Structure 1
């Protein structure tokens, strides 16, 4: 039986258990990719994760579901302070290793950019990415993001320092719609 195409949708509070597990797995597997750490987040409760994904006009968390399981996540939120409310920030972009290279991160990015585009007054979407994450940098550039800064030694993980690239995309240049159809993704076995 052929597998169905991955589904990207906004996460709801009922997704909190799957989100918590995926987020903790991500923090263990690629600690240099996140500003937070496993040590900080493993004590968070399901209520904490439900609060992350509670319905809000100025933020959203999306997930991509493949073969019925949460295979990737992304968050997007408008800046809260009055003088910077014209900017949104993308955070926590992650796809499980078995599903990488299948276009799922692009689909998540398109969902987040689409959501930012309907936030009244948002003109720019920003993100930061660990400088050594070449695949993510290429993806963001292919969507029109441009580098506006480079923060040296932005993160320290187990004594190793990592730089971050700061990127931005004016929404009038965003390519939030699908640029091409995606073939059904297939799980890569380790």
Structure 2
């Protein structure tokens, strides 16, 4: 991979790059997200900006970006239920996406490791959960390699269109 790689939390000034990458992700990998491209497109620019700012400012919510030469090429989020005493030991990784030209170069693994460090050191979580489409073998392999365990499968987790369903592996990592 050519260029300088940096990982950092997203900031309000990253909105345009985030929005562009989010649209790409929803269009190219609809089975990977609960949100859909059409709904995102239907939002006004102001609504998109407000949603993005809410992501950045919600307590114990982290959105990391992978930047190559200043361009956002990957992202992933982490959140935990800090307000619920019985659940605050758990966190969730969500929204993991690397643009196709940068896959297979270790960016996903590095994003994942940084989120696990945040989960342990900043959010004081004891376990991290995620879900991944059963058809996404590369992401599933990445999570297994990182030490995640599969504890189940949610059948028909997402519905795409009239008759197409996406099953998801449910995975956890003990910190």
Matches within 5 A, 1:147-158: 147-158=150-161
TM-score if structure 1 supplies the norm length? 0.84
Q: Mind listing any 5+ residue stretches in structure 1 that lack a counterpart?
A: 172-190
Q: Mind listing any 5+ residue stretches in structure 2 that lack a counterpart?
A: none
The CA distance in 1 between the partners of 2:141 and 2:2, in whole Å, is 28
TM-score if structure 2 supplies the norm length? 0.90
The alignment yields a C-alpha RMSD, in angstroms, of: 1.6
Q: How many residues align?
A: 169
The CA distance in 1 between the partners of 2:2 and 2:131, in whole Å, is 34
Q: Which one of 61, 64, 67 corresponds to residue 66 of structure 2?
A: 64
Name segments (4+ residues, structure 1) moved above 4 Å.
none
Matched, 1:132 2:135: yes
Deviation at 1:120, TM superposition (A): 4.6
Which structure features the higher share of helix residues? 2
Change (3 A) 1:120 1:8: closer
The CA distance in 2 between the partners of 1:95 and 1:105, in whole Å, is 7
1:53 alignment partner, SS class: helix
CA contact (8 A) 2:80 2:123 kept: no
Instruction: Give the equivalent residue in structure 2 for 1:163.
Output: 167
